Amino acid sequence: GSRNRVYRVIQCQEKEITQLMSSLSDGWKFEQLVNINSSSGYIYGDSEHCEFLCIVSKQYDRMPREDANACVSERVKILQERGSRM
């Protein structure tokens, strides 16, 4: 079977990195952490305001297009229901 790798980029502050790493689930794998505050990669001063891009990936089996559309549609419905309750 054919497989696809999907990447996700998540912006977070330094104090959120540990929480983010511990909450990775469903096959998501840590790839890279990039400091976006400085070209040198090191910040002087208040580290609480340091921001990072966390790159994660997940490998998927390719499925027939109609099956993929059904999965996406079901997830969209669930997310819409959750959002309407807020």
* 14-37 pLDDT tens trace: 889 989 888 888 889 999 999 887
Query: How many structural domains does the chain have?
Result: 1
What local confidence, expressed as pLDDT, does residue 8 receive? 92
Extract the tokens encoding 84. Answer: 């309407």
Q: CB neighbours (10 Å) of residue 66?
A: 7
Tens of pLDDT, residue by residue over 54-85, are 999 999 887 666 565 666 677 777 777 766 66
Extract the tokens encoding 15. Answer: 């104090």
Q: d(Cα 43, Cα 59) in Å, to the nearest integer?
A: 34
Q: CB neighbours (10 Å) of residue 54?
A: 19
- Which residue range is the domain that position 61 belongs to? 3-83
Tens of pLDDT, residue by residue over 43-57, are 555 555 788 999 999
pTM for the whole thing? 0.57
What is the side-by-side order of every strand in the sheet holding 3-13?
A: 3-13, 51-61, 29-35
Q: What is the CATH number of the domain that holds 46?
A: 3.30.70.2000
What local confidence, expressed as pLDDT, does residue 3 receive? 81
